[in-house]
Structure 1
Amino acid sequence: MPQLDLTWFLFNFILAWSFIFLINIILTNQNWFNNNEDNNIITKTNQKKNNQQWNW
């Protein structure tokens, strides 16, 4: 049954790569959200520092 073996192989191949692609997207989005939160914290801290520096 070579036809069935090829079909099963292609099905598993596509399934495995789509799983890897999905995990990659999830990790990238999670990393991007963490960086975005960190950047917001850094920006707020810098704004506070700038405001404190220039109070006459």
Structure 2
Amino acid sequence: MTHSLWKWHPLVTAAVIVPLALVDAVFVSSNISKVLEGGWFPLLAGGVLFTVMPT
């Protein structure tokens, strides 16, 4: 979809998106173990604020 919106060739779009997605995947996988050790609280606080702010 991005390639049609920006009128980019699909290979150029993939060349931009794939490295960024890989970096994000490494970051998430390295931090997922911290959720059970107390990282759940900031996630809960952010979720509550995300729910309350639009209302």
Q: Quick one: higher RCO (CA 8 Å, sep 6+), 1 or 2?
A: 2
Normalised TM-score (structure 2): 0.42
**Larger Rg over CA atoms:** 1
Structure number having the greater helix percentage: 1
Normalised TM-score (structure 1): 0.41
